[in-house]
Every structure is written in structure tokens, then in C-alpha cells.
């Protein structure tokens, strides 16, 4: 026991861990209190490592910050670190490098299938680049998005990835004046690094698919036009497709929905009440499309014989519903990876250039149209 206590005195480790050890010994071995009081809490510094390794403090600093250090010095420094168990303080590293190793990610709904895939892509890059992420779930609230932007801009993160939905003038003004790099995912924003999907052509192509199958009494279930990508651009794809096909009157056959499956269910009911002759439906998302299928099945409307239906997103839900939902696959993980690669490059290189990257899609015809 005495030998163990004397050994503690010679361990170079953080004061906090030593205090925990001493508390444990006081509780477990109360008779050893006198000896414990003689134990010293020893803090090791970069200077201590430099002296033990026989190198300069600058060499040790470069070692921890991935700078150039000769192989001999690297081995000497690593030997001392292994012997002492030294772990550099995150706070001290931040003070030295002005970097935290943290990236803030602001997303609208953590439960979304597409968003979870994009976060997977983000993590693949952050793991390889030794960054950690802080997730902020806004619940589709633009004001909460602004709050999180302010928090991340003021606190210690190195950059921000924002999943863009309803971006207001306040958003644009704040983003333009941020002190740290930002990448917007899901929308193309002038003057801001953006990774986005081809929202217009995806519904344009899906609408033309239905028209090519002889469906000439289409309807559209979309979301708020305040959402520029999923709301406005996807509707414009549908609108222009029917106009170019000489079916201009179909552009008005639309209802606006929320994002949940129940919203799709209710919107399908509304659309049929307004236009009972509908023979095809383009839904802005898979989740809305699955809700619409549920309503149609409950009302004994055959899919695709009576009404064909399409979604967007290639979600797991759309794949397991019966009939399976014709859709378009976006490469969500790729968009997450690309957005993070752009952000990390701007963080590391202080790059001020602006990148706009559009990710494509793939049409997937399934049972709801075939």
C-alpha cells in the first residue's frame, strides 16, 4: 500500500485524475491519510515534455499541431508522452491554434430519413479529418435556425453546415456577416458555399413519366413555397412539364401539405374532393406520397390502375409500402460528404472562394406506376 502511494507521487498526470485517486484512497484506506497528504499533484506541461525529450518547446508544439518534426524528435517526444500519459488540454489546444475541432450542424428534423443519410456523409468526413460535430435540431422553425446560427457564430466551433429550408432575409444578412465558414446544404445561395439537389428537373421528369403513360388528369401535392427547394422548385418542375405537354390547366390542380405522412393522407383526401377525376399524383416527397397511398387504399382506389403516384427521396418507407412508391433517388450521403469537404477546406486553408455544387438524381420506377 505504502509503495502504491509513493508511486502516485511520481506519476505525471492531470491534477483532476490525481484528485480522484486521492479521494478513492481516503475512502478505501482511511488510515493512510497522513501519507496521502504528502502526495503532490503534479501538472505536466509542454515545457516538461521538451526537457524530458531533449527537444525545444517549439518542436513539441509542432508535434501536437501536425507541424514538421524530424523522426528522431518525434520518437523522443512520443516516448515521453507514453511514459507520462500526457493528454493535451482541448482548451489549451484551442488557445494555441485558434481552432476547436468542432463543426456545428443545423438541421430541420433529426427524424428525417434523407437528413440522417446526409449526417452519415458528414460523419465520414469529420471522422477522417478528426473533427467532432454538434447537432442542432430546429424542428423546421426558421427563428430557431437563426438562434443556432448566432450561438455557433459566437461560441467555439470552427464552421457551420446549415440544412437550408425556409431561408429569410434575416438568414441571408446574418450568414453574410458570419466570422466562421458556412456551407448551406439543400439550397443554392448566392455568395454562400452551397451543396444542393436538382429539385426542378426531378419533378419535371416524374411528371413526364406519368404523362408518357397516358395520364392526362394529374394533380400535385407539395409543401409551402417558402421552402425554395422542396416547395417552390419542385412545384415549378411539375408546372412546366404539364404546360409543355399542352395540359396547362393541370398546373392549378395542386394542394399544399405538411411534411408528415398524415399530412400526405389528408392532402390526398383534399385533392380528390377538389378533382375527383384525377388519374395521377406527383407528391413532393416520399413521406407525403406514402400518406397519399394509405388514403387511396383505405378508399378502395386501385394503384396504379386508377391513380398512379410518385414521390421524391427513395426512402425506406416508400420501399416497404404496398405498392412500393415510384420515386427519385437523391445521393444524400454524397451531399453530406461534399458539404463537409468544402467546409473543412475553408477552415484549414482560410479559403474565401465560393463553391456551388449540384448533386444529381436517379429515377426509380416501382409498383405505384407500373
Best CA proximity match to 272, nearest among 216, 214, 221, 310 = 221
Helices first, then strands: H and E counts in the chain: 16, 12
Share of the chain above pLDDT 70, in %: 84
Give the pLDDT band (50/70/90) at residue 83: confident
- Rounded to the nearest 10 degrees, how much is the dihedral formed by the CA atoms of 307, 313, 319, 325? 10
What pLDDT, on a 0 to 100 scale, did the predictor assign at position 93? 54
Walk me through the domains of the chain, giving residue ranges and CATH numbers: 2-96 (1.10.260.40), 100-196 (3.40.50.2300), 199-331 (3.40.50.2300)
To which H or E segment does residue 37 belong? helix 33-38
Per-residue pLDDT tens digits for 341-352: 999 999 988 877
Per-residue pLDDT tens digits for 217-235: 999 999 999 998 999 999 9
DSSP-derived secondary structure for 237-256: HHHHHHHHTT-GGGGG-EEE
- Report CA-CA distances (Å) from 97 to 27, 43, 81, 100: 41, 21, 20, 8
Q: How far apart are CA 19 and CA 13, in angstroms?
A: 11
What pLDDT, on a 0 to 100 scale, did the predictor assign at position 10? 36
- Sheet containing 254-256: order of strands: 254-256, 218-222, 280-283, 308-310
To which H or E segment does residue 159 belong? strand 159-163
Instruction: Enter the pTM of the model.
Output: 0.69
6 pLDDT above the threshold of 70? no
What pLDDT, on a 0 to 100 scale, did the predictor assign at position 59? 87
CA distance between the termini of the chain: 78
| Average pLDDT in the chain | 85
117 pLDDT above the threshold of 60? yes
What pLDDT, on a 0 to 100 scale, did the predictor assign at position 114? 85
What pLDDT, on a 0 to 100 scale, did the predictor assign at position 87? 66
Amino acid at each position: 500500500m505504502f509503495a502504491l502511494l509513493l508511486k502516485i507521487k511520481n506519476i505525471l498526470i492531470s491534477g483532476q485524475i490525481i484528485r480522484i485517486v486521492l479521494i478513492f484512497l481516503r475512502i478505501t484506506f482511511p488510515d493512510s491519510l497522513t501519507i496521502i497528504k504528502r502526495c503532490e499533484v503534479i501538472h505536466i506541461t509542454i515545457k516538461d515534455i521538451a526537457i524530458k525529450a531533449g527537444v525545444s518547446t517549439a518542436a513539441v508544439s509542432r508535434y501536437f499541431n501536425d507541424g514538421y518534426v524530424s523522426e528522431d524528435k518525434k520518437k523522443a517526444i512520443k516516448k515521453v508522452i507514453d511514459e507520462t500519459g500526457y493528454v493535451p488540454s482541448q482548451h489549451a489546444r484551442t488557445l494555441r491554434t485558434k481552432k476547436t475541432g468542432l463543426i456545428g450542424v443545423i438541421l430541420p428534423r433529426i427524424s428525417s430519413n434523407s437528413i440522417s443519410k446526409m449526417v452519415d456523409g458528414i460523419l465520414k468526413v469529420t471522422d477522417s479529418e478528426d473533427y467532432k460535430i454538434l447537432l442542432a435540431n430546429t424542428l423546421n422553425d426558421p427563428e430557431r435556425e437563426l438562434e443556432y446560427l448566432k450561438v455557433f457564430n459566437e461560441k467555439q466551433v470552427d464552421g457551420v453546415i446549415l440544412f437550408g429550408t425556409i431561408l429569410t432575409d434575416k438568414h441571408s444578412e446574418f450568414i453574410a456577416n458570419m466570422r466562421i465558414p458556412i456551407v448551406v446544404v439543400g439550397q443554392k445561395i448566392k455568395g454562400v458555399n452551397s451543396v444542393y439537389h436538382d429539385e426542378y428537373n426531378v419533378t419535371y421528369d416524374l411528371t413526364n413519366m406519368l404523362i408518357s403513360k397516358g395520364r392526362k388528369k394529374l394533380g400535385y401535392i407539395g409543401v409551402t413555397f417558402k421552402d425554395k427547394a422542396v416547395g417552390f422548385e419542385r412545384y415549378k418542375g411539375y408546372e412546366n412539364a404539364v404546360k409543355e405537354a399542352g395540359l396547362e390547366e393541370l398546373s392549378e390542380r395542386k394542394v399544399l401539405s405538411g411534411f408528415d405522412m398524415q399530412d400526405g393522407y389528408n392532402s390526398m383526401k383534399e385533392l380528390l374532393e377538389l378533382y375527383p377525376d384525377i388519374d395521377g399524383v406527383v407528391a413532393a416527397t416520399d413521406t407525403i406520397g406514402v400518406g397519399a397511398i394509405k388514403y387511396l387504399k383505405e378508399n378502395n382506389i386501385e394503384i396504379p390502375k386508377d391513380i398512379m403516384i410518385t414521390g421524391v427521396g427513395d426512402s425506406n418507407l416508400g420501399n416497404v409500402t404496398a405498392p412500393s412508391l415510384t420515386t427519385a433517388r437523391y445521393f444524400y450521403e454524397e451531399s453530406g460528404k461534399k458539404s463537409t469537404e468544402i467546409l473543412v477546406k475553408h477552415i484549414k486553408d482560410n479559403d474565401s472562394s465560393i463553391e456551388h455544387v449540384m448533386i444529381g438524381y436517379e429515377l426509380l420506377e416501382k409498383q405505384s406506376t407500373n
